[in-house]
């Protein structure tokens, strides 16, 4: 049987090596929230956070406890809009990516 990498390790490696993929992953998370797919948005954003700044650094940058952030993006989490947008804003600054919404 061939050895395989853990999916999350693969995502982390690709995020760190490929700025376009990193940007696309953040964009996909926000797009999922905007179309009402909250569960997918939380899962993708959680993977993005783990692969980039991590929850401890995100906690320092947002002024929110890391445990609260982890709960917020857990499958049972329910992030308030102010917390969600604070996290997205912080992640944009950390990554140098600026997202904007356009009507389709």
Crossing angle for the helix pair 7-17 and 38-51, to the nearest 10 degrees: 70
Task: Give residue 2's pLDDT band: very low, low, confident or very high (50, 70, 90).
Answer: low
DSSP assignment, residue 75? T
104 is a domain residue: no
**pLDDT (mean) for 30-52:** 95
Domain that holds residue 40: 18-95
68 is a domain residue: yes
Global confidence as pTM: 0.88
Task: Give residue 48's pLDDT band: very low, low, confident or very high (50, 70, 90).
Answer: very high
Q: Which of 38, 33, 86 is nearest to 63 (CA)?
A: 86
Answer yes or no: are the C-beta atoms of 72 and 79 closer than 8 Å: yes
Q: How far apart are CA 56 and CA 73, in angstroms?
A: 14
E strand intervals along 18-97: none
Report how many domains make up the chain.
1
């Amino acid at each position: 049987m061939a050895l395989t990498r853990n999916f999350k390790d693969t995502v982390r490696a690709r995020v760190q090596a490929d700025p376009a993929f990193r940007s696309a992953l953040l964009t996909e998370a926000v797009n999922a929230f905007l179309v009402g797919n909250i569960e997918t948005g939380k899962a993708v954003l959680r993977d993005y956070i783990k692969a980039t700044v991590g929850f401890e650094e995100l906690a320092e940058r947002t002024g929110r406890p890391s445990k609260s952030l982890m709960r917020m993006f857990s499958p049972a989490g329910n992030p308030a809009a102010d917390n969600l947008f604070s996290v997205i804003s912080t992640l944009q600054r950390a990554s140098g990516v600026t997202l904007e919404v356009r009507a389709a």
